[in-house]
Amino acid sequence: MKKGIFEFNNGWCFATVNGRLAEIYFKEKYGIYGHCYVKRKEYSKGEQKIIDSDIQKYSFTYRKGYYIDKYRGTRQKIAATSKIFPRIKKFRQKNKKFK
């Protein structure tokens, strides 16, 4: 999936989300499906150089289930968890307990 000049595969990278440093997670077919905020001091100096290069390329605003890319102006709705991780749905159905 191409977003502007950057191509997303499966994986993660660093970005700023709502003005804070975060790791964003994405899949080629669905785009960004989640993020978590992190602290810069948790990473080594080598990783901090990677953080500097990534946050220059990726900056998002997350609000009401949408990721808005600040640089490209694109808007993407977050994908459903059952689409990204189909085995979770099967696992939940298998382990349901009835009373």
Whole-prediction pTM value?
A: 0.74
Per-residue model confidence (pLDDT) at position 99? 45
More confident site: 54 or 95: 54
Report the chain's mean pLDDT, rounded to a whole number: 84
Q: Show me where the domains of the chain are located.
A: 2-94
Per-residue model confidence (pLDDT) at position 79? 84
Query: Would you call 38 helix, strand, or coil by DSSP?
Result: coil
Q: Work out the pLDDT band at 94, boundaries 50, 70, 90.
A: low
Give pLDDT tens digits for 63-89: 999 999 999 999 999 888 778 887 776
Separation in Å, CA 83 to CA 5, 29, 88? 26, 10, 10
